[in-house]
Every structure is written in C-alpha cells, then in structure tokens.
C-alpha cells in the first residue's frame, strides 16, 4: 500500500493531474492530496499508516 501511495505521489510531482491519478488508483482526489502532504512532511515513511 505504501508503494502505491509513493508511486501516486511521484506522478503528482512529475506533473500528472490529481484527478487522473485518483481515478487510476481508485481513490478520492482528497486521498491523493493527503498522500502528497504526508510525503512532503515525512518522505516515504510519512506515507505509512499511523
């Protein structure tokens, strides 16, 4: 699961649209925004469930 989140975040950082990524991974746009924020705050480890 962490790897999936990481791949999604990398796609965002590479310029892909949040909407497209959310559809591709079957999650809400808010989830992608949350993963991006967690990655920015804590890197790969930040994407793990608390």
Whole-number pLDDT of residue 45: 94
Determine whether 41 is exposed, middle or buried from the number of CB atoms within 10 Å of its CB (0-12, 13-18, 19+).
Answer: exposed
Enter the pTM of the model: 0.91
Contact 35, 22 (CB under 8 A): no
**4-48 pLDDT tens trace:** 999 999 999 999 999 999 999 999 999 999 999 999 999 999 999
Contact 5, 35 (CB under 8 A): yes
Whole-number pLDDT of residue 49: 76
């Amino acid at each position: 699961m962490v790897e999936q989140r990481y791949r999604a975040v990398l796609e965002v950082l590479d310029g892909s649209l949040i909407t497209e990524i959310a559809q591709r991974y079957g999650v809400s746009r808010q989830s992608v925004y949350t993963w991006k924020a967690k990655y920015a705050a804590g890197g790969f480890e930040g994407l793990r469930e608390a």
